[in-house]
Amino acid sequence: MNVPSSTDAKAGRVIVFDTTMRDGEQSPGASMSLDEKLELAKILEDMRVDVIEAGFPIASNGDFDAVRRISQIVTESTICGLARAGVADIERCAEAIKPARRGRIHTFISTSPQHRDHILRMSPADVIDAVTGSVAHARNLCDDVEWSAQDATRTERDVLRRCVEAAIRAGAKTINLPDTVGYSFPAEYGAMFRDLIDSVPGADEVVFSAHCHNDLGLAVANSLAAVQAGARQVELAINGIGERAGNCALEEVVMALKVRGDALPYYTEVRSEHITRASRYVSAITGFPVQFNKAIVGKNAFAHEAGIHQDGMLKNAETYEIMRPEDVGQGASNLVMGKHSGRHAFREKLKGLGYELGQNALNEAFGRFKDLADKKKTVYDDDIIALVDDALARGAERIKVKTLRVIAGTEGPQEAHMTLVIDGAPVSTVATGDGPVDAVFKAIKALAPHEAELRLFQVHAVTEGADAQAKVSVRLEEDGRIATGLAADTDTLVASATAYVNALNNLFTRREKSAPEPMTASGF
Ligand code: KIV
Ligand code: ZN
């Protein structure tokens, strides 16, 4: 897969730039471990994403390692790292992407008066000098340089024009104009692209890129408006994850272009049947659930409940379906799973649900499925999704729940008798609490002392019925680091204990990551 030249781009091909691991990971609590990033990079490459923004190398050693390792294993997609307009940032980024078959430095600086005055304390002329210096330095280290005007949509048009011109002159090949604060309307965003593409010398030699945040729910509409106005790269994140209201959802833009090619004659090379797999993986490792009615990847996106709709669907799926579930990787598998189902049927079912597991993960998930099938009469697709997500979300397990017995009821205090295995050694305690969950969490804290605060405890039933599995999410925060744990079990208290322990394991193994201080002078 090659990133199209500006000639291909004019022919209607839109470059898909995935920023799930960089801008997406900036949402509080969405941090991913190195192994999870490597797996996600492979999923994105299989999906034929053109550019993978793998991290912000100067932000932490963890980010640097992730960009470098992904550069070593991905051969098809371009691997990109982010850098502010400073020598140290750019050189660290160049070092991280060095092993990549195709590498890109993405350097940015804020251009709007709000950011210039309050963050950078730089005049427009200083910013333009920094653009020239940073892009030229990046080009000395890498052939493929993208330049972004942070907060472009709130920048005076004349200042933005001069910045874009400076970036093109200094050698940038991609010019990204982000709607950083999700403020723009589609007509305005499109007009900004049209104006700059028409008026900046050299604009026809570069690819213009859209990068939209979703604060007003307009990220997809704005990105499509930019494409109509001449942009040929869109910056996207799986499930739309990202800071605040998130980034533009990759699955929505890809499917809008695929389904409505009649209205918008542009296309991407993304293999859309990999979308569900990517969505499920990102949801599992971040612990961020996908809302049920989310376009393309929500649980209800292809469900027809109303009688009149069901009747139409039975007569002809085109009555109410504008795309087929298979187009986004939701296989129409009718396999009913139960305790007699074998490994082969289980693998087929997983494929239909959008999962492809390696042999070890498959064996583990199959074992857990068998245990579940012994407990539950009917194992629904949602049960299987919950148990696979639970398995994917588990990192290195320093701590494991061995046994749990809880005394609950109207006469308090409730009591938890718990044995954990920590670094291979069993340890036990009894704790009381204000309710059984409190008792369980206190027992864990007594056995594995930590200062983390509980930030989220969420329980929901995976299916209907009294024997439904409970899916529990727990989010912990310690010293500004956030980690999430997920678990599913037919026993709500076991699921709660396991989710808490998983969050704790993730907290221990996740690298420390803090955003670098905003730059007040660029050094160029
Ligand atoms: O939203 C934004 O402006 C960004 C830039 C760093 C590209 O993410
Ligand atoms: Zn952004």
Q: Is residue 300 part of a domain?
A: no
Write down which residue in 360, 391, 422 finishes a domain. Answer: 391
pLDDT tens for residues 416-451? 999 999 999 999 999 999 999 999 999 999 999 999
The predicted structure's pLDDT at residue 470:
93
Position 326, amino acid: E
Write down which residue in 231, 256, 286 finishes a domain. Answer: 286
Q: Is residue 487 part of a domain?
A: yes
Which CATH number belongs to the domain containing residue 426 in this structure?
A: 3.30.160.270
Clarify whether residues 161 and 208 are in a common domain: yes
Q: What is the pTM of this model?
A: 0.86
Supply 305's token pair.
């409940």
Domain boundaries, position 329: 307-391
The predicted structure's pLDDT at residue 519:
67
The CA distance from 236 to 249, in Å, is 6
C-alpha 457 – ligand 2 centre gap (Å): 28
Tell me the best of 176, 180, 183 to mutate to test the pocket of ligand 1, counting ligand atoms within 8 Å of each CB and taking the most: 180
C-alpha 222 – ligand 2 centre gap (Å): 14
**pLDDT score of 380 more than 70:** yes
Check if 56 has its Cβ closer than 6 Å to any atom of ligand 1: no
The CA distance from 327 to 324, in Å, is 5
Cα separations (Å) of 226 from 153, 168, 233, 385? 12, 19, 9, 36
Q: Is residue 517 part of a domain?
A: no
Average pLDDT over residues 455-475: 88
Percent of all residues in the chain with a pLDDT value above 70, rounded to a whole number = 93
Clarify whether residues 141 and 46 are in a common domain: yes
pLDDT tens for residues 282-302? 998 888 889 989 999 998 888
Q: Is residue 215 part of a domain?
A: yes
Check if 189 has its Cβ closer than 6 Å to any atom of ligand 1: no
pLDDT tens for residues 306-346? 666 666 667 777 777 899 999 999 875 556 788 888 888 88
The predicted structure's pLDDT at residue 313:
67
**pLDDT score of 64 more than 50:** yes
From 91-100, 358-367, 485-494, the region with the lowest mean pLDDT: 358-367
Clarify whether residues 193 and 320 are in a common domain: no
Percent of all residues in the chain with a pLDDT value above 90, rounded to a whole number = 68
pLDDT tens for residues 263-285? 999 999 999 999 999 999 999 88
Q: Which of 70-79, 295-304, 503-512 is the most confident on average?
A: 70-79
Q: Is residue 282 part of a domain?
A: yes
Check if 19 has its Cβ closer than 6 Å to any atom of ligand 1: no
Closest to 281 (Cα-Cα) out of 216, 355, 341: 355
Write down which residue in 391, 417, 436 finishes a domain. Answer: 391
pLDDT tens for residues 113-164? 999 999 999 999 999 999 999 999 999 999 999 999 999 999 999 999 999 9
How many domains does one find in the chain? 3
Greatest Cα pair distance, the chain, in angstroms, is 78
Q: Is residue 2 part of a domain?
A: no
Check if 211 has its Cβ closer than 6 Å to any atom of ligand 1: yes
Of residues 456 and 18, more confidently modeled: 18
Clarify whether residues 131 and 198 are in a common domain: yes
C-alpha 180 – ligand 2 centre gap (Å): 5
Clarify whether residues 252 and 332 are in a common domain: no
Treating both helix axes as pointing N-terminal to C-terminal, what angle do 219-228 and 186-199 enclose, rounded to 10 degrees?
Answer: 30
Of residues 171 and 372, more confidently modeled: 171
The predicted structure's pLDDT at residue 37:
94
The pLDDT mean for the chain works out to 91
Q: Is residue 5 part of a domain?
A: no
Clarify whether residues 408 and 464 are in a common domain: yes
The predicted structure's pLDDT at residue 136:
98
Clarify whether residues 205 and 103 are in a common domain: yes
Clarify whether residues 461 and 366 are in a common domain: no
Clarify whether residues 179 and 208 are in a common domain: yes
Clarify whether residues 386 and 412 are in a common domain: no
User: What is the DSSP pairing of strand 233-236 with strand 51-55?
Assistant: unpaired
**pLDDT score of 511 more than 50:** no
**pLDDT band at residue 378, thresholds of 50, 70 and 90?**
confident
Check if 154 has its Cβ closer than 6 Å to any atom of ligand 1: no
Clarify whether residues 217 and 179 are in a common domain: yes
pLDDT tens for residues 198-240? 999 999 999 999 999 999 999 999 999 999 999 999 999 999 9
DSSP 100-134: -SSEEEEEEEE-SHHHIIIII---HHHHHHHHHHH
Average pLDDT over residues 366-373: 90
Q: Is residue 222 part of a domain?
A: yes
Check if 150 has its Cβ closer than 6 Å to any atom of ligand 1: yes
Clarify whether residues 273 and 326 are in a common domain: no
